[in-house]
């Protein structure tokens, strides 16, 4: 994917507590780091993200996103992660309302809206979250990224881009395609087509 032009690698870390499945952790990320110059965007679907943040930074992550549902002191978690020298994002499950992150919305570099329930690949896109994407688009500064994760494919990416998302996580739509590089290029083209028309 890097050779095909990918600049960001989104890493879905699952702990078997915050979400039912376990995916991978810091040793796998550290071994990928040796082979890639991509920006490592870690999505921590884990309890106690502040406890493990340093280990993920040491493993080579450039960015850590934690879940608002997993923590109690959002400002402290943002400050802790930023203090480790990486950028920081906050993620919301499909039914978590926008106002849940209001206390830290100005402090984060990215908001990640989940468009499926975290913890499993291959689920269908939940259209209702697009209103939340629009709400964030209206509130975020230009230098804050708005990422969407779950069920992103050729059918859903235009609506996600039209709602204001600027960063799209695609798993199945890319890695399940016969030609992953071609699938990635096609998704990017579809998203750009929409953003270029909306920007005007
Ligand atoms: Zn993710």
Per-residue pLDDT of the chain (200 residues; tens, 9 = 90+): 999 999 999 999 999 999 999 999 999 999 999 999 999 999 999 999 999 999 999 999 999 999 999 999 999 999 999 999 999 999 999 999 999 999 999 999 999 999 999 987 778 999 999 999 999 999 999 999 999 999 999 999 999 999 999 999 999 999 999 999 999 999 999 999 997 765 44
CA of 103 to the centre of ligand 1 (A): 22
CA of 193 to the centre of ligand 1 (A): 24
Question: Is the model's pTM score more than 0.85?
Answer: yes
CA of 12 to the centre of ligand 1 (A): 5
Question: Is the Cβ–Cβ distance between 184 and 155 less than 8 Å?
Answer: no
CA angle in degrees (0–180, nearest 5) for 41-94-146: 40
Q: Please give the Cα distance from 190 to 165 (Å, whole number).
A: 13
Q: Please give the Cα distance from 113 to 167 (Å, whole number).
A: 10
CA of 42 to the centre of ligand 1 (A): 8
Neighbours of 16 (CB within 10 A): 13
* Active site members: 12, 149
């Amino acid at each position: 994917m890097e050779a095909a032009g990918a600049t960001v690698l989104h890493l879905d870390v699952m702990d078997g507590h915050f979400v039912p499945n376990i995916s991978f952790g810091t040793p796998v990320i550290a071994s990928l780091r040796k082979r890639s110059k991509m920006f490592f965007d870690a999505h921590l679907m884990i309890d106690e993200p502040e406890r493990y943040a340093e280990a993920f930074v040491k493993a080579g992550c450039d960015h850590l996103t934690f879940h608002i549902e997993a923590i109690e002191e959002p400002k402290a978690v943002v400050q802790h992660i930023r203090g480790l020298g990486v950028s920081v994002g906050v993620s919301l499950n499909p039914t978590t309302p926008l106002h849940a992150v209001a206390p830290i919305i100005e402090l984060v570099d990215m908001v990640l809206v989940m468009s499926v329930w975290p913890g499993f690949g291959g689920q269908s896109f939940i259209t209702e979250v697009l209103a939340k994407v629009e709400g964030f688009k209206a509130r975020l500064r230009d230098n804050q990224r708005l990422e969407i994760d779950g069920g992103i494919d050729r059918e859903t990416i235009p609506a996600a881009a039209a709602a204001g998302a600027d960063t799209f996580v695609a798993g199945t739509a890319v890695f399940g395609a016969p030609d992953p590089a071609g699938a990635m290029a096609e998704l990017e083209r579809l998203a750009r087509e929409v953003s270029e028309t909306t920007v005007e």
